[in-house]
């Protein structure tokens, strides 16, 4: 096995025994990036030298712990190279959110999740490509370039965290962080055969995470297996005094403890709901087949499955596409060319003669140039939905329907512990195939929007292939019940080998 292919837990075991060093590991991953990223294009920014310095420091820390015989006490990610979505602020490292309006933005501070990852020993390799301000499902809305799916370079890796998912799938990082507003961690994970976890709303601080839709945004890990995803969740979760929506509820992240080794029925007593609405028209037959087979595996592991109903499923797409743009239009008002990022100036003359006009023209030019087409579309939709006279008909109505969608899940969770289904209705599509059709693009998230609107956790794990392309199984649980979700995901993963398959790059 190549060093860059290692999972976090495999690398950690080797680091603890002194069989490899963090420097070797980091160099191996950087070499891998050099070898494949020209084709995959997962990274927007690389910080190789800085990564090697961090690795050097991690090696010193490992050596110290080994001398003291206290390897078990090293921080959980010590010496592990990672990739971070460009939506997340990294002090001293350019952070663009995939937008031209932040082309020159170097944050003066770290997001809380970065502070936590660094404290846990994580090594930053670079920042990954994404749809502009996380708006999209294919990473084609990046203002820089499209990222390619390592499983088929002519196809998209999903989005908006497509760079992060592609980096992990291509072994260009041991793990990555993404953000999930309506599916942006889970859907790219499904399309690249990786594990993507959207935590409960409030589980992870968004301080320093560039805001898209604040009632929906969550940071989540993209990893090579469930055990790694759980480890990362344990590092990034928790209350943050700087972030009012963050809460402190403990989560069990030692997944090995969640199922008994040698237990033939590790899911005995677990009730699994299969929503009728997730298997209707629009679901690709090969995807349906893989997901149905996965459900049979859960049954074989002892789970009791039953059909449940989420009657308002059809409304999640229109509800999301009113609420998310409304919030985005407010959040994006801050990009006016004054505080940070791009600024297109009017002539000095104009400033002298009519400063107010010059100011307006400057803001218009800056935003006109700085934002791409999808972002502008959302700002227009959002301001429209919030405007006087339309607020009640659109925004308020969408808020009411959001409550109905949440109640659907509440009712289902009275009968079952987890809800399973497909993550994405289709496998990875061709680059360009949906780029000009926003509605088709929005449909990529039909199965991931509901959980986000309801604020509940959900994970996508590899569950098979259709025509050589990965299929993801989505498992959702009650709010703050990541433990249950990880237990089911881990048991499934232990019983199958889909997650071990690698693209032939
Ligand atoms: N594809 C959805 C959108 O475009 C979800 C994106 C996300 O989760 N950030 O809004």
pLDDT value at residue 258: 77
pLDDT value at residue 403: 98
Count Cβ neighbours within 10 Å for each residue of 163-187 and write b for 16 or more, e otherwise: bbbbbbbbbbbbbbbbbbbbbbbbb
pLDDT value at residue 261: 61
Does 199 sit in the ligand 1 pocket, CB within 6 Å?
no
Closest to 472 (Cα-Cα) out of 82, 104, 190 = 190
Is the per-residue pLDDT at 79 higher than 90? yes
Distance CA 29, CA 51 (A): 11
Distance CA 51, CA 62 (A): 16
pLDDT value at residue 355: 83
Beta-strand (E) ranges in 129-203?
A: 175-180, 195-198
- Average pLDDT of span 237-261: 87
Does 112 sit in the ligand 1 pocket, CB within 6 Å?
no
Query: What sections of 76-225 are H helices per DSSP?
Result: 112-119, 162-169, 186-192
- Determine which residue's CA is closest to atom 10 belonging to ligand 1: 135
- Average pLDDT of span 141-157: 98
pLDDT, tens only, 84-110: 999 999 999 999 999 999 999 999 999
Q: Is 164 a catalytic residue?
A: no
pTM above 0.85, yes or no: yes
Domain spans, the chain = 3-254, 336-395
Query: Three-class SS of residue 440?
Result: helix
Does 381 sit in the ligand 1 pocket, CB within 6 Å?
no
Q: Which of the residues 160, 161, 205, 460 is marked catalytic?
A: 160
**Quick check: 79 and 175 in contact, CB under 8 A?**
no
pLDDT value at residue 138: 97
Q: How many CB atoms lie within 10 A of CB 438?
A: 15
Domain 3-254 grouped into CATH 3.40.50.300? no
Is the per-residue pLDDT at 345 higher than 80? no
Q: Is 184 a catalytic residue?
A: yes
- Band (pLDDT 50/70/90 cuts) for residue 250 is confident
Interacting residues of 247 by C-beta distance below 8 A, sequence separation 6+: 202, 203, 239
What spacing in Å lies between the alpha carbon of 85 and ligand 1's midpoint? 14
**Quick check: 90 and 109 in contact, CB under 8 A?**
no
Residues paired with 180 in a beta bridge = 218
Distance CA 217, CA 201 (A): 8
Is the per-residue pLDDT at 412 higher than 80? yes
pLDDT value at residue 382: 96
């Amino acid at each position: 096995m190549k060093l860059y292919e290692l999972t976090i837990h495999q690398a950690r075991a080797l680091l603890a025994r002194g069989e490899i060093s963090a420097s070797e590991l980091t160099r191996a991953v950087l070499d891998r990036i050099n070898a494949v990223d020209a084709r995959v294009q997962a990274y927007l920014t690389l910080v190789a030298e800085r990564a090697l310095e961090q690795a050097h420091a991690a090696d010193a820390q490992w050596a110290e712990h080994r001398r003291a015989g206290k390897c078990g006490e090293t921080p959980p990610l010590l010496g592990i190279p990672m990739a971070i979505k460009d939506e997340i602020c990294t002090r001293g490292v350019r952070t663009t959110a995939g937008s031209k309006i932040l082309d020159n933005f170097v944050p003066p501070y770290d997001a809380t999740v970065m502070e936590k990852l660094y404290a846990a020993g994580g090594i930053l390799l670079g920042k990954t490509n994404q749809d502009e301000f996380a708006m999209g499902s294919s990473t084609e809305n990046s203002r820089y370039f499209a990222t390619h799916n390592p499983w088929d370079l002519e196809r998209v890796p999903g989005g908006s965290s497509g760079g992060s998912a592609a980096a992990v799938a291509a072994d260009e990082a041991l793990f990555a962080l993404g953000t999930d507003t309506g599916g942006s961690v889970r859907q790219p994970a499904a399309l690249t055969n990786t594990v993507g976890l959207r935590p409960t709303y409030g589980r992870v601080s968004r301080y320093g995470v560039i805001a898209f839709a604040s009632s929906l945004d969550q940071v989540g890990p993209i990893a090579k297996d469930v055990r790694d995803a759980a480890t990362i969740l344990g590092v990034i979760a928790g209350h943050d005094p700087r972030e009012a929506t963050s809460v402190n509820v403990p989560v069990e992240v030692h997944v090995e403890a969640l199922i008994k080794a040698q237990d033939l029925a590790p899911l005995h007593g677990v009730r699994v709901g299969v929503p009728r609405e997730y298997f209707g028209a629009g679901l690709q037959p090969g995807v349906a087949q893989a997901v149905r087979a996965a459900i049979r595996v859960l049954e074989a592991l002892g789970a009791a499955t039953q059909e449940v109903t989420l009657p308002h499923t059809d409304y999640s797409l229109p509800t999301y596409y009113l609420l998310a743009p409304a919030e985005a239009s407010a959040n994006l008002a801050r990009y006016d060319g004054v505080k940070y990022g791009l600024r297109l100036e009017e002539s000095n003359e104009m400033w002298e003669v009519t400063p107010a006009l010059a100011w307006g023209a400057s803001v218009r030019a800056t935003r006109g140039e700085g934002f791409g087409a999808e972002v502008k579309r959302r700002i227009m939709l959002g301001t429209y939905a919030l405007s006087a006279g339309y607020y009640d008909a659109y925004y308020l109505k969408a808020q009411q329907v959001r409550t109905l969608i949440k109640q659907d899940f509440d009712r289902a969770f009275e009968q079952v512990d987890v809800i399973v289904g497909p993550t994405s209705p289709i496998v990875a599509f061709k680059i360009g195939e949906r780029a000009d059709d926003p509605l088709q693009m929005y449909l990529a998230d039909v199965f991931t929007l509901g959980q986000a609107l309801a604020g509940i956790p959900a994970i996508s794990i590899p569950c098979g292939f259709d025509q050589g392309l990965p299929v993801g199984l989505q498992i959702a649980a009650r709010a703050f019940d990541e433990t249950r979700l990880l237990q089911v995901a881990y048991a499934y993963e232990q019983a199958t080998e889909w997650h071990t398959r690698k693209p032939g790059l």
